[in-house]
């Protein structure tokens, strides 16, 4: 009986993997970015799963400039290592890389991860860099762990990823949100803001983050209160009505006295929310007269565009301390659309960047 159950489970698992592979083949032709390979040296392939395009209701949207810079950072560092200019000296070893666009969604990220796991020219991937969105990172980490492939995240901060019993092949270069939520609570307490509104995106990043903030805000210091329940906005698929409903709660009587909003959410959620704030201001003069102070997590305060910053008006955010990679700023500033065709996303990035500058 037990053998029958095991066989059924193996059959279902094999069927699921086969289905995912079939889905992967149907994914639009996202570009890969491969570094030159030297056949005379031992080769290690570093993979990348990054949201080169922002998520837009579960699909691919606008180019994400920060992720394009991450791609260039990977290229820059690996080229330095291969040319033995870096502090890491790998003699008789060459590194190559393949980077895939996840668009910040779980389904696309898993499909791209399966592509990455498929050996090319006899070379399998040795480790993967990515993802940024915590919910996507968890799914990718679970898949890679089945193949004993390490995943190193550059921006996924949800505390649950620190559990090595669940994520034994996961590491990250950024601190857990347990520190960030404490910092946000310290800021609010420092200015003696005792009555605040809490808003979060409806994913593990937003839910865990706002829960951590509320614990540090209410349980550590007395006489502190969150106005009503935290307002959760669906993610990654949210309609304009979801954002309008959240803004309507900001105008509700039990919230009207609170002008400090703690917002732990994904950038796409914040963009939609602020657009809804602007819509409400245009038709509600009483609401338009209110001045909110937005206290935010690093995910959105570091990526918000100038248009949304003007809507928000007042923003305080926290970001982890970062160390600059030697020479990268100079390398990136030298890149130009006329002399840099290797990166397939650079032209789109360049067009977006120059249009915003002018």
**DSSP assignment string, 186-224:** HHHHHTT--EEEEEEEESHHHHHHHHHHHIIIIISSSS-
DSSP-derived pairing of the beta strands 53-56 and 59-63: antiparallel
- Identify the pLDDT of residue 221: 63
DSSP assignments along 265-333, one per residue: --HHHHHHHHHHHHHHHHH-HHHHT---EEEE-HHHHTT--HHHHHHH--EEE------PPTTHHHHHH
Distance separating alpha carbons of residues 301 and 297, to the nearest angstrom? 6
Strand partners, 74: none
Distance separating alpha carbons of residues 329 and 310, to the nearest angstrom? 28
- Identify the pLDDT of residue 232: 97
DSSP character at residue 170: E
150 pLDDT exceeds 70? yes
CB within 8 Å of 280: residues ≥ 6 apart = 244, 247, 248, 251, 287, 288
How many of the other CB atoms lie within 10 Å of CB of 328? 15
Please name which of 100, 129, 89 lies closest in space to residue 27, comparing C-alpha atoms: 100
Q: Whole-number mean pLDDT of the chain?
A: 85
Average pLDDT over residues 47-72: 88
- Identify the pLDDT of residue 26: 45
25 pLDDT exceeds 50? no
- Identify the pLDDT of residue 195: 87
Cα Rg, the chain, nearest whole Å: 22
Please name which of 97, 43, 95, 94 lies closest in space to residue 70, comparing C-alpha atoms: 97
How many of the other CB atoms lie within 10 Å of CB of 113? 28
Strand partners, 56: 59
Please name which of 79, 105, 155, 70 lies closest in space to residue 349, comparing C-alpha atoms: 70
Whose tokens are 């420092």? That residue is 190
- Identify the pLDDT of residue 124: 86
122 vs 327 pLDDT, higher one: 327
CB within 8 Å of 282: residues ≥ 6 apart = 288
Please name which of 182, 258, 262, 191 lies closest in space to residue 220, comparing C-alpha atoms: 182
DSSP character at residue 173: S
What length is written for the chain?
358
- Identify the pLDDT of residue 234: 96
Measure the N-to-C terminal CA separation of the chain; round to a whole number of Å: 70
- Identify the pLDDT of residue 1: 46
152 pLDDT exceeds 80? yes
pLDDT tens-digit map of 239-274: 999 999 999 999 888 777 788 999 999 999 999 999
Q: What is the pTM of this model?
A: 0.82
Label residue 28 by pLDDT band (50, 70, 90).
Answer: very low
Distance separating alpha carbons of residues 126 and 86, to the nearest angstrom? 20
* Of 1-5, 76-80, 159-163, 232-236, minimum mean pLDDT range: 1-5
Average pLDDT over residues 202-227: 85
- Identify the pLDDT of residue 23: 47
Average pLDDT over residues 338-348: 89
* Of 24-28, 53-57, 167-171, minimum mean pLDDT range: 24-28
Share of the chain above pLDDT 70, in %: 85
Strand partners, 97: 46
14 pLDDT exceeds 90? no
- Identify the pLDDT of residue 2: 46
Report CA-CA distances (Å) from 301 to 7, 212, 296, 320.
Answer: 50, 18, 6, 12
């Amino acid at each position: 009986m037990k053998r029958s159950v095991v066989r059924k489970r193996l059959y279902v698992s094999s069927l699921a993997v086969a289905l995912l592979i079939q889905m992967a083949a149907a994914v639009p032709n996202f570009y890969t970015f491969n570094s030159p390979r030297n056949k005379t040296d031992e080769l290690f392939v570093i993979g990348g799963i990054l949201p080169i395009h922002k998520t837009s209701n579960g699909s691919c949207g606008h180019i994400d400039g920060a992720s394009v810079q991450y791609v260039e950072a990977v290229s820059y560092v690996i080229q330095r290592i291969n040319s033995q200019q870096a502090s890491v000296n790998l003699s008789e070893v060459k590194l190559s890389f393949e980077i895939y666009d996840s668009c910040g969604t779980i389904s696309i990220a898993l499909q791209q991860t399966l592509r990455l796991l498929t050996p090319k020219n006899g070379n399998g991937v040795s480790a993967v860099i990515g993802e940024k969105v915590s919910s996507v990172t968890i799914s990718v980490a679970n898949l890679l762990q089945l193949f004993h492939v390490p995943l190193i995240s550059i921006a996924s901060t949800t505390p649950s990823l620190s559990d090595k019993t669940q994520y034994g092949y996961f590491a990250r270069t950024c601190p857990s949100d347990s520190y960030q939520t404490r910092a946000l609570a310290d800021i609010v307490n420092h200015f003696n803001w005792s009555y605040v509104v809490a808003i979060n995106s409806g994913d593990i990043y937003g839910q865990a983050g706002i829960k951590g903030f509320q614990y540090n805000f209410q349980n550590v210091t007395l006489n502190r209160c969150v106005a009503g329940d935290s307002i959760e906005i669906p993610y990654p698929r949210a309609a304009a009505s979801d954002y309008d409903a959240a803004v309507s709660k900001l105008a509700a009587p039990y919230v009207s006295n609170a002008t400090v909003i703690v917002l732990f959410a994904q950038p796409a959620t914040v963009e939609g929310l602020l657009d809804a704030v602007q819509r409400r201001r245009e038709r509600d003069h009483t609401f338009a007269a209110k001045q909110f102070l937005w206290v935010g997590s690093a995910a959105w305060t570091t990526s918000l565009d100038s248009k949304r910053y003007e809507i928000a008006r007042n923003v305080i955010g926290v970001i982890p301390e970062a160390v600059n990679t030697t020479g990268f700023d100079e390398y990136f500033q030298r890149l130009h659309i006329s002399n840099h065709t290797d990166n397939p996303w650079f032209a789109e990035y360049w067009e977006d960047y120059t249009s915003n500058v002018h």
